[in-house]
Chains A and B, each alone.
Chain A
Amino acid sequence: MVFSSMTFIYYFLPLVLLGYFFTPDRFKNYTLLFASLVFYFVGEPVYIVLLFTSVGINYIAGIQIEKHRGMPPSKRILAIAIALDVLMLAIFKYFNFFTDNMSVLFKTDLKWVTIALPIGISFYTFQIMSYIIDVYRGEVKAQRNIGYLALYVSLFPQLIAGPIVRYKTIALELTSRTHSADNFAYGVRRFTFGLLKKLVIANPLGALVQLAQFADQPTVLFYWLGAVSFMLQIYFDFSAYSDMGIGLGRMFGFHFLENFNFPYVSKSVTEFWQRWHMSLGTWFRDYLYIPLGGNRTSKLKWYRNIAIVWLATGFWHGADWNFILWGAIFGVILIIEKHVLLRKLEKLPAVFRHLYLLGVILFSFVIFNASNLTAAVNVISGMLGLSGIPLVSKTSIYYLMSNKFLLIIAILFSTPLTTMAWKRLTTGKIARLEPVMLLLLLIVVTGYLVDASFNPFLYFRF
């Protein structure tokens, strides 16, 4: 089940809201847990077992770590728990990658079994690892109620596509949270805007990406149209899901941290990664980069730490070489920026710094979106006019002109301008009309929903 589906919006959600708000407070968590497990079961009826396994392992580990705090066993238990968590992720996400590459390396067929990727495994594995590490560090108490721990891991607003919620940010809210019209209304706003970003902007951009990628006659223009559209699509797709997750969480009284902060207004790659998928970036910073020594070490080790983090970041996104390359490129650029480029960039006018960042991100997402490295090279060659293809065609011009307003609106929406405009609109003289405006937006997104048959989230494969 995805948020932007009829089943979720007009069947699952009203039933869950009804059940939740009519349940006595002391049982609300169990209602939400049940709903979350049903939500996951609908998408993964078989692999829900992995979710239970992950919760079970880390529940026991958390209690044992706390029991043996300050003694050697607690570190061993932590290591075992993390090893099991990583092993589960390695098997179900990376096994096929491993066997494919071993087959190529040893020129034989080692692909005796293909393992399907369970939905959301990257997200909930990282969440449960953050929990167990924070328990070990003494930053949180071990959760004694397995139901509450299961709820933290499986909470449907953030289960399958983030944000990666740290246990410590909602530990208190698991046992004591406020339900109010203000919270609910905030949630409605975020959820509705998320639906708008997904259905009205991201999905049409996705259609344009497909058109450009599979055009009968490739042109330079088509390649650029595809690249720009994908860069916008992935932002709107992913940030929309975060908006919806944050909004849904707030309806139930949970405050999740923001995951995107208008990354395309950044003026450097360093700044970009402080605004893009922030929950992942901070996870790697706190649980990998800093434990490795961060930048408080020799220069060589610092480079090593950056390389490890960025290779891991790339690999987290997908089990293929283009994702690893994508991560590695960012690692290299970040090192260059930290050493030399940032100081030079700061001397340039802002417009050039924006262009630099957008150029880097545009080409990086070409690599990210490619099915393999060869395809990535083909696209980049095409964009640079090195493939001997025509510059334009009637068809590519048609699709540029037909979608010009979509692209312009998407670019505007990717900046804080629209949020500021909405805020002004809804706190000004016509503030009282906000409920009606939100209702109209809901009707609009429903129109888009019924007109499309299927709209999977890009980040679903993680």
Chain B
Amino acid sequence: MKNKWIASIFAGVLAAVLLLNVFTPYVQISKSERRKLAPFPTFTVAAILSGNYFEAFEKYALDHMAFRDPLRNLKAQIETKFFGKYDNNLFFVKDGYAFKMDRDFNTKKYTVIAEKIEAVYDRYLNGMRVYHAFIPDKNYFIREEGKYLFKDYDALVDAMNAQITHSAYIDLFGSLTLEDYYKSDLHWKQDSLGNLMKTLENAMNFETQFEVSDYTVQSLSPFYGAYHGGVNGLVKPDTITYLSNDAIQSAIARHYSENGVITNKPVYDLDAFDGIDGYDVFLSGPTPIVEIQNPSNTSGKSLVIFRDSFASSLAPLMLQEYSTITLIDLRYITLDLVGAYVDFNLQDVLFLTTL
């Protein structure tokens, strides 16, 4: 009798899953994994004979498996709780926060950044007020936790600062805490940047002062951060809270593409929240150059930020001080081309990079 049950359950499960997989509506994007799911492969003779069709079908089948997220969650639970693994594909959860371990401790990766800063200065910034700051990643705040692998942040900062000779260093490490970051994402929360803004105000001699109470707090949820898929749902999704006021709402973000096309978008691109990465609500996500024009500020002061994605949520808060903020991401544009789009002339310059 027991064997009949085993046979029936097995056959039944296989049949049920097949039907579920075939008849479940097709989904293009996984919000929890923040990526496009594999499409159903195109049937061609060439694809069949090369074997590509079947490889693509397997990717499709994996991506569109019924109950994919709960199954991945189950695997993460077993890996961490049963097998006691410290990480699951480099991701781990501590105190309700998701982290990603950095296994690559090659300091050269970071000193190259210092070299780049010096190269930019030599090329475009001679005589200008230049600052640089390093943003600690979330791992910095649990570095005393002996179990995991961490960078030597102090050694990295010292090594980079030793190479950067034309820029004033702004120490942001003491201005942030773990609670200032999203639980499921690597980024900081915009509404938690009060202390950081004060540090920047003092170091860069701002005339204005940032106060959260001067802004309207708006929120968007659920926000599945970059680490949410990596920890297989072991951390709940976040809520993106963004700060708005009349100045930000009237500001225009001009996005420059390499073919010279300029696209105007709002500072907070609410449509982008429904895309693959909800964090793209801030300045529409990765872009080589974006210039924020703030008609509410007539001081004429300008700021150039050489940046990564963290600056996207910081820059709107700095509009109180500047008429124009230009954000340049050197991962998406070569140094030589920057000069074709940006006039470097008496702006404040801030290099902001994450460690």
- Decide if A182 touches B149 in the complex (CB within 8 Å): no
B192 in contact (CB, < 8 A): no
- Decide if A447 touches B71 in the complex (CB within 8 Å): yes
A402, A406, A442, A447 — most chain B CB neighbours (10 Å): A447
User: Which residues from chain B sit less than 8 Å from chain A, CB to CB?
Assistant: 2-7, 9-11, 13-15, 17-18, 21, 48-51, 54, 57-59, 61-62, 65, 68, 71-76, 78-79, 82-87, 103-106, 147-149, 232
The interface bits of chain A over 175-200 (1 if a CB of B lies within 8 angstroms of the residue's CB, else 0) are 00000011011101100100000001
- Decide if A450 touches B83 in the complex (CB within 8 Å): no
The interface bits of chain A over 3-28 (1 if a CB of B lies within 8 angstroms of the residue's CB, else 0) are 00111011101110110000000000
B11, B59, B232: the one contacting A451 at CB < 8 Å is B232
Knowing A435-B2, A453-B62, the reply to whether A188 touches B7 (Cβ < 8 A) is yes
- The minimal Cβ–Cβ distance linking B153 to chain A, given in whole angstroms, is 15
- Decide if A7 touches B17 in the complex (CB within 8 Å): no
Nearest 5 pairs of A and B residues by beta carbon: A185-B3, A447-B75, A6-B61, A14-B14, A185-B6
- The minimal Cβ–Cβ distance linking A246 to chain B, given in whole angstroms, is 16
- Decide if A431 touches B2 in the complex (CB within 8 Å): yes
- The minimal Cβ–Cβ distance linking B47 to chain A, given in whole angstroms, is 10
- Decide if A7 touches B13 in the complex (CB within 8 Å): no
- Decide if B62 touches A10 in the complex (CB within 8 Å): no
A10, A181, A406: the one contacting B83 at CB < 8 Å is A406
A17, A46, A398, A439: the one contacting B149 at CB < 8 Å is A398
A15: nearest chain-B partner, CB-CB: B18
- Decide if A6 touches B85 in the complex (CB within 8 Å): no
Knowing A395-B103, A395-B149, A447-B72, the reply to whether A181 touches B13 (Cβ < 8 A) is no
B54 — which chain A residues lie within 8 A by C-beta? Answer: 1, 7, 42-43
A10: nearest chain-B partner, CB-CB: B17
A44, A394, A434: the one contacting B6 at CB < 8 Å is A434
Knowing A45-B51, A184-B3, the reply to whether A451 touches B75 (Cβ < 8 A) is yes
Report how far A188 CA is from B106 CA in the complex, Å. 48
A9 — which chain B residues lie within 8 A by C-beta? Answer: 14
- Decide if B148 touches A398 in the complex (CB within 8 Å): yes
- Decide if A181 touches B3 in the complex (CB within 8 Å): yes
B4: nearest chain-A partner, CB-CB: A181
A1, A188, A432, A435 — most chain B CB neighbours (10 Å): A435
Interface residues of A in 403-462 (CB under 8 A from B): 403-406, 409, 431-432, 434-435, 438-439, 442-444, 446-451, 453-454
- The minimal Cβ–Cβ distance linking A402 to chain B, given in whole angstroms, is 4
Report how far A42 CA is from B15 CA in the complex, Å. 21
Report how far A181 CA is from B4 CA in the complex, Å. 5
Report how far A5 CA is from B149 CA in the complex, Å. 33
A6 — which chain B residues lie within 8 A by C-beta? Answer: 58, 61-62, 65
B105 — which chain A residues lie within 8 A by C-beta? Answer: 216
- Decide if B62 touches A442 in the complex (CB within 8 Å): no
**16 pairs of residues in contact across A and B, judged by CB atoms under 8 Å:** A6-B65, A7-B57, A9-B14, A10-B21, A45-B48, A181-B7, A184-B10, A394-B149, A402-B85, A405-B85, A409-B83, A443-B71, A443-B74, A446-B65, A450-B62, A454-B58
- Decide if A435 touches B18 in the complex (CB within 8 Å): no
- The minimal Cβ–Cβ distance linking A399 to chain B, given in whole angstroms, is 9
B9, B21, B59: the one contacting A435 at CB < 8 Å is B9
Report how far A186 CA is from B87 CA in the complex, Å. 36
A350 in contact (CB, < 8 A): no
Report how far A14 CA is from B12 CA in the complex, Å. 9
The interface bits of chain A over 386-401 (1 if a CB of B lies within 8 angstroms of the residue's CB, else 0) are 0000000011001001
B16: nearest chain-A partner, CB-CB: A14
Interface residue tally for chain A (C-beta within 8 Å): 55
- Decide if A446 touches B6 in the complex (CB within 8 Å): no
A445: nearest chain-B partner, CB-CB: B75
B17 — which chain A residues lie within 8 A by C-beta? Answer: 10, 14
Knowing A189-B6, A447-B75, the reply to whether A11 touches B149 (Cβ < 8 A) is no
Knowing A6-B62, A17-B11, A443-B71, the reply to whether A405 touches B83 (Cβ < 8 A) is yes
Knowing A185-B3, A435-B6, A451-B232, the reply to whether A442 touches B13 (Cβ < 8 A) is yes
- Decide if B15 touches A18 in the complex (CB within 8 Å): yes
- The minimal Cβ–Cβ distance linking A426 to chain B, given in whole angstroms, is 8
- The minimal Cβ–Cβ distance linking B152 to chain A, given in whole angstroms, is 10
Report how far A6 CA is from B57 CA in the complex, Å. 9
- The minimal Cβ–Cβ distance linking B88 to chain A, given in whole angstroms, is 8
A189 — which chain B residues lie within 8 A by C-beta? Answer: 6
Report how far A1 CA is from B57 CA in the complex, Å. 11
A189: nearest chain-B partner, CB-CB: B6
Report how far A192 CA is from B62 CA in the complex, Å. 19
Report how far A13 CA is from B11 CA in the complex, Å. 9
Knowing A43-B51, A45-B48, the reply to whether A434 touches B2 (Cβ < 8 A) is yes
A185 — which chain B residues lie within 8 A by C-beta? Answer: 2-4, 6-7
- Decide if B2 touches A184 in the complex (CB within 8 Å): no
A46 — which chain B residues lie within 8 A by C-beta? Answer: 49
A192 — which chain B residues lie within 8 A by C-beta? Answer: 10
- The minimal Cβ–Cβ distance linking A388 to chain B, given in whole angstroms, is 21
Knowing A10-B14, A10-B17, the reply to whether A402 touches B106 (Cβ < 8 A) is no
- Decide if A442 touches B232 in the complex (CB within 8 Å): no
A45, A402, A443, A449: the one contacting B49 at CB < 8 Å is A45
Report how far A192 CA is from B7 CA in the complex, Å. 12
Report how far A442 CA is from B23 CA in the complex, Å. 22
B82: nearest chain-A partner, CB-CB: A405
- The minimal Cβ–Cβ distance linking A349 to chain B, given in whole angstroms, is 32
A44 — which chain B residues lie within 8 A by C-beta? Answer: 51
A44: nearest chain-B partner, CB-CB: B51
Report how far A33 CA is from B106 CA in the complex, Å. 54
- The minimal Cβ–Cβ distance linking A390 to chain B, given in whole angstroms, is 14
The interface bits of chain A over 342-357 (1 if a CB of B lies within 8 angstroms of the residue's CB, else 0) are 0000000000000000
- Decide if A13 touches B14 in the complex (CB within 8 Å): yes
Report how far A89 CA is from B15 CA in the complex, Å. 39
Knowing A17-B14, A42-B54, A46-B49, the reply to whether A10 touches B3 (Cβ < 8 A) is no
- Decide if A442 touches B10 in the complex (CB within 8 Å): yes
B6, B65, B82: the one contacting A188 at CB < 8 Å is B6
A435 — which chain B residues lie within 8 A by C-beta? Answer: 2, 5-6, 9
A186 — which chain B residues lie within 8 A by C-beta? Answer: 3
A407: nearest chain-B partner, CB-CB: B83
